[in-house]
Structure 1
Amino acid sequence: MSSEKLDGRLLWLIVVILLGGLLGILNSTMAAVATDTLATAFDTSLSTIGWASTGFLLAVTATIPFTTWAVDRYGGKRLWVAGLVLFLAGSLAAGLAWDVGSLIAFRVVQGAGAGLLDPLVLILLARAAGPQRAGRVMGLMGVVLSLGPVLGPIAGGAILGALSWRAMFLISMVVGVVALVLALRVIPADGPAPARVPRLDVVGLALLGPGFAAVVLALSQTAEQGAFAVWQVLAPLGLGLVLLIGYATHARRPGPLIDLGLFRSRSFSASVAIMGLGGMGLFAGLFALPLYYQQAHGHDVLAAGLLMAPLGLGGSIAMPLAGRLSDRFGARRLAAGGAVVAVASVLALTRIGPDTPEMWPALAALTFGLGSGCFSAPTMGSLYRTLPGPMVAQGSSVLYMLNQLGAALGVALVTLVVQTAESAIDGLRGVFWLAVASNLVVLALVPLLPGGRAGAPEPAVREGAPSTP
């Protein structure tokens, strides 16, 4: 697979990996729109059934750091298959759940499977593509990232309208079986294990995974409680910060789970910050637009999901094209142009009101997706062009954890803004102003990205040593 073109084998590999990567995104977003249905089915409160989604999210976050070490110890294909099997087992069990406690437990199993799969998507694609094709392959991955959060609510609404809530999990299992069969046939067999695989940093794993999970839990509780200064938020936030500070101290020793020396590279730090902030702004839009269509125009969940589709469509159009162009011309100009388009689009959304024709927010959402795609794919491509092979797994885990954190932060801030505003429309406008701010910071960080094209030498991230872009 040394050719710069995407040959047939690589294209099949990309399709199979993205199919598996889509499972977690679709399942989590489908479950989110089923909260009312599940609460009624199990005769419980919305806050209790919310733990079915929160438990999934926490399991994903806590499992990601383990993947960093396990992919080298057990091999990418073996770990991918294990992640799919774990996700399938959780899906089947969730579809057969008999009470709310069993549902939450089985959603945690699903989340553990997704926590293996999600960073592996980035790791396997980056290793298969190589530096010369990183942009275009990450652009194709961006189609999943763009469409998944949009298709999930639409699919969930359609399934719940025609079938029972159990079908939502059982259909995920059918898709997962197809992904598993294809993975066994298409993903290349793992080679012999490296002669020296570092021992698992058990202390680091016990600090980093739970630390990030506790911070994500605090942000989720901020959204649920509608306030920050409450014990449900402050307790997990304090615990998470203590664990993360403990990891930062522990990581100074040899052989940490994730080397914090990665952040000595300005280009790496800028790349993960752009992806985190971009994810926060995008999730703010994904959260606010359906609320706008429901509250200002009286649409149901399915119609609001369909009207939100232009946002995902814009990203799915822009990311493959921008990724391919970034391999030829570098990341900075494309990313800067995309950030400008995203800022202008969200500025337009701050002007919407109850009397705004639906065509205009749909058009602004389309261009917002186009702009976000134009800075996301080149940023991911530049990230993987600067990471040497041994650091790809660590860089992928950092990127995905910060993406999770950005998404959780976005939802928490959106909820606080909406709940503290004088009116629903004022709150939604405040959300879009939040997205404007996050994309302006993205624009300010773009000059720190590596500027070269794929064939030009890029600064490599080296353990314990700074690099200059």
Structure 2
Amino acid sequence: MTPVGTGTLRATTTFGLMAGPLLTMVDSSVVNVATSALARELHTGLDTVQWAVSGYLLALSAGLAATSYLARRYGTLPVYAAAMIGFTAASAACAVAPGAYTLITARAVQGLAAAPLVPLAMSMLLGERGGAGGRRIPAATGILLFLAPALGPSLGGLLLAGGGWRWIFLINVPAGLYGLLALRAAPRTLTPPPQPDARIDWAGLALLSAGLPLTVFGLSRGATHGWTAPAALIPLAGGALLLAAYARWSAGRPHAALDLRVLRDRRSALALLLSVSASVVAFTALFLLPVFTQQVQGHTALATGLALLPQGVVMGLATALGERISARVGARRLVMAGFTVLAVAGTGLTALDARTPLWATSALLTARAAGIGIVVTPLLGVLLQPLGADRIADGTTVFTIAQRLGGALGVGVLSSLLAARTATAGPVGAFHQVGVVLAVLAAVSALPAARLPGAGAGAAAEGPVT
């Protein structure tokens, strides 16, 4: 029998596995450009429509809690396919929503269905050895994964101008259906068999599914209401307590909702910590730079979106290239080099002002994208290397959660810094200070990266985690 996670996937199967992550990451940001149109056409306020954005992200965070258990119990591929069906159906419901509250409800269902798509697709594409000794990431896969966040605002603007807000959701339906058809070619050996006797950890699921969205909600409210305001402090503290309670609850449990033993290897834990740092550096700039180009430099949303596209392509290419180079030079040197590039590019952010041409801003973003691309894949490989095939879904889910929490933390904290410093230093000066923070964080992160595996070193030196 062919071992799990080996062999070469057909192009149609690869597309089927990429359709879900691409759609869910685009939908994380695509609605942002349509909030004014939604409020106007649905005859409601912006504060109500904003829940179409927040509800999706919060439901997605809650759904991540059950991803690993569902994959173990029913099989990775069947759960991925079911999530794709749910996401496609919820997208159709969003497209025909007659009112704001119906749309918000459909968006929450869409987010819940989207939760398993990224970690499960990653686990199937990376194979048994997490990219280090099994299947390699196709270049097109890397491009799509990192082009998606930049594509959201651009695609949203084009669809909004061409056909109205309903097309933002309607376009998901044919893409989702085609992705489902493509999955029919997936080999049966792609994933481990389901474990019908896997127990469900109800208490753990409750702690995680409440703690994750509360934490994300608190981080988002901190940027708008202030970190000491009850609207931010209460959910943030509550979410942190619930997540800490889950960590204590799951210790030593053989059927935990999300197996945190994947971090028992010291290098895996270090890789996860560095991935959080990379997420802060990546997502903060991706969120704040469009604000800078539009509000300070005066560019349109469409022009800004087009300027973001090259970084997605470069980041995808760098991701695929980094995965290949890592096997030769080791994760240590590659991750240190990537963080060094990010530190230099962060310093470059301090050179931007109101008169900087958009092409120059795009070039700087592209340099940052190369740095992020060569950092992420080696870190994921180190995290997953010690894991058996039946724990890959746990590893990719932990990695996805860490990235989302890191991104939310970075955006929340540095948005607050930007707002606070704008009053005294002006918008350009405040943005420069954010650039300094990102540069310092990247430079500091390069130091512990020296403890990652080098060329020819096995990441599983401490033994497999089973």
- Distance verdict in 2 for CA 1:448–1:48, change over 3 Å: farther
Structure 1 runs (4+) deviating above 4 angstroms are: 5-8, 128-135, 138-141, 189-196, 460-464
Tell me which residue corresponds to 2:241: 242
Say whether the 8 Å CA contact 2:387–2:465 is kept in structure 1: no
Tell me which residue corresponds to 2:274: 274
Does residue 427 of structure 1 match 2:426? Answer: no
**Structure 2: unaligned runs, 5 residues or longer:** none
Q: Which moved more, 1:389-398 or 1:145-154?
A: 389-398
Say whether the 8 Å CA contact 1:26–1:151 is kept in structure 2: yes
Tell me which residue corresponds to 1:121: 121
Equivalent of 2:460 in 447, 458, 461: 458
Equivalent residue runs for 1:283-294 within 5 Å: 283-294=283-294
What amino acid maps onto 1:38 in structure 2? L
Q: Which moved more, 1:246-255 or 1:55-64?
A: 246-255
Tell me which residue corresponds to 1:438: 441
Separation in structure 2 between the aligned mates of residue 346 and residue 382 of structure 1, nearest angstrom: 25
- Distance verdict in 2 for CA 1:65–1:136, change over 3 Å: same
Separation in structure 2 between the aligned mates of residue 324 and residue 190 of structure 1, nearest angstrom: 21
What amino acid maps onto 1:435 in structure 2? L
Separation in structure 2 between the aligned mates of residue 164 and residue 457 of structure 1, nearest angstrom: 50
Tell me which residue corresponds to 1:79: 79
Separation in structure 1 between the aligned mates of residue 296 and residue 463 of structure 2, nearest angstrom: 48
Q: Which moved more, 1:291-300 or 1:106-115?
A: 291-300
The Cα of 1:263 is off from its aligned counterpart by 3.0
- Distance verdict in 2 for CA 1:145–1:441, change over 3 Å: farther
Tell me which residue corresponds to 2:363: 363
The Cα of 1:15 is off from its aligned counterpart by 3.0
Separation in structure 2 between the aligned mates of residue 128 and residue 102 of structure 1, nearest angstrom: 41
Say whether the 8 Å CA contact 2:139–2:320 is kept in structure 1: yes
Does residue 251 of structure 1 match 2:250? Answer: yes
Separation in structure 1 between the aligned mates of residue 263 and residue 350 of structure 2, nearest angstrom: 34
Q: Secondary structure at the match of 1:118?
A: helix
Separation in structure 1 between the aligned mates of residue 300 and residue 249 of structure 2, nearest angstrom: 50
Residues 276-316 of structure 1: per-residue CA shift (max 9 Å, x gap): 21111111111122122212321111111112223223212
The Cα of 1:6 is off from its aligned counterpart by 9.0
The Cα of 1:18 is off from its aligned counterpart by 1.3
Residues 327-348 of structure 1: per-residue CA shift (max 9 Å, x gap): 2332111111111111101111
Equivalent residue runs for 1:341-356 within 5 Å: 341-356=341-356
What amino acid maps onto 1:286 in structure 2? L
Residues 173-215 of structure 1: per-residue CA shift (max 9 Å, x gap): 2211111111123353788955674301110010012111110
Separation in structure 2 between the aligned mates of residue 378 and residue 29 of structure 1, nearest angstrom: 26
- Distance verdict in 2 for CA 1:216–1:381, change over 3 Å: same
Separation in structure 2 between the aligned mates of residue 247 and residue 148 of structure 1, nearest angstrom: 32
The Cα of 1:113 is off from its aligned counterpart by 1.0
Separation in structure 1 between the aligned mates of residue 386 and residue 448 of structure 2, nearest angstrom: 17
Separation in structure 1 between the aligned mates of residue 79 and residue 238 of structure 2, nearest angstrom: 30
- Distance verdict in 2 for CA 1:323–1:62, change over 3 Å: same
The Cα of 1:264 is off from its aligned counterpart by 3.2
Say whether the 8 Å CA contact 2:124–2:191 is kept in structure 1: no
Say whether the 8 Å CA contact 1:343–1:439 is kept in structure 2: yes
Identity %: 30
Separation in structure 2 between the aligned mates of residue 344 and residue 48 of structure 1, nearest angstrom: 41
Q: Secondary structure at the match of 2:251?
A: coil
Tell me which residue corresponds to 1:231: 230
Tell me which residue corresponds to 1:51: 51
The Cα of 1:140 is off from its aligned counterpart by 5.6
Q: Which moved more, 1:364-373 or 1:323-332?
A: 323-332
Separation in structure 2 between the aligned mates of residue 2 and residue 278 of structure 1, nearest angstrom: 36
Aligned length: 461
Equivalent residue runs for 1:182-201 within 5 Å: 182-186=182-186, 188=188, 193=193, 197-201=197-201
Q: Secondary structure at the match of 2:175?
A: helix
Say whether the 8 Å CA contact 2:332–2:450 is kept in structure 1: yes
Instruction: Report the aligned-residue RMSD.
Output: 2.6
Which TM-score applies when normalising by structure 1? 0.91
- Distance verdict in 2 for CA 1:45–1:414, change over 3 Å: farther
The Cα of 1:451 is off from its aligned counterpart by 2.1
The Cα of 1:143 is off from its aligned counterpart by 2.3
Tell me which residue corresponds to 1:467: none
Q: Which moved more, 1:206-215 or 1:359-368?
A: 359-368
Separation in structure 2 between the aligned mates of residue 350 and residue 324 of structure 1, nearest angstrom: 33
Q: Which moved more, 1:72-81 or 1:184-193?
A: 184-193
- Distance verdict in 2 for CA 1:6–1:359, change over 3 Å: farther
